[in-house]
Amino acid sequence: MPKYTGYVSLPTTTYDAWKAAVNGNGYDVDSSHGCQCWDLAAEFWYNVGFPQGYPTLAGTGSAYGAWDDREANAGTAFDLIYDKTQIKRGDVIVYNYFTGNPYGHIGFADEDYNGTDNIQILSENNGGMPDPDGGAYTNVNNYSLAYFRGAFRYKAWETPAPIGHVGRTKFPWVLYARKLREKHSQL
């Protein structure tokens, strides 16, 4: 379980490739406060082509600020998800602050929305192996959706719609088949 300081090259071809590469490791891109949830998100943004320092935190210095600056943080690479019932595996969820956590949280959904107010997420500083410099290494843990602010869906991970008879109906084929049956019945 290595710890990385600074930005490193990581696979982002699929959520599974990303998870396999980061789970159990520690990331501290800014060398500040150890392995924090924002550091893992920053590694992802960097590895999908954003400059260092993304996602920005809208001057809050806290994870919840990533949603305040959502348009800049989404760029053209992400869709914005406003409804927690629409969460899909791999979405980057931003949580609001609350009494027990004044910073909020940010992590990757490890499952689709399951109809409850809890979801498994992949994140740092959420119960993983403690980092002596602060925070905790990446792991998958249960997290409440009670403080859901929004989510970023990485477009490259979306499953494209199946190619087929988009916009066509079977109606012309039904007529054609009927005509053929009538023709063959007259012979």
Domain limits of the chain? Answer: 3-161
**CA 40, CA 26: separation in Å to the nearest integer?**
8
pTM: 0.84
Express each pLDDT in 68-117 by its tens digit.
999 999 999 999 999 999 999 999 999 999 888 899 999 999 999 999 99
Mean of pLDDT values over 16-42 = 96
Whether residue 45 has pLDDT greater than 70: yes
Express each pLDDT in 109-163 by its tens digit.
999 999 999 999 999 999 999 999 999 999 999 999 999 999 999 999 987 666 6
Describe the chain by its helix, strand, coil percentages, rounded to 5: 25, 25, 50
Q: What is the CATH T-level fold of the domain 3-161, as seen in this structure? A: endopeptidase fold (from Nostoc punctiforme) (3.90.1720)
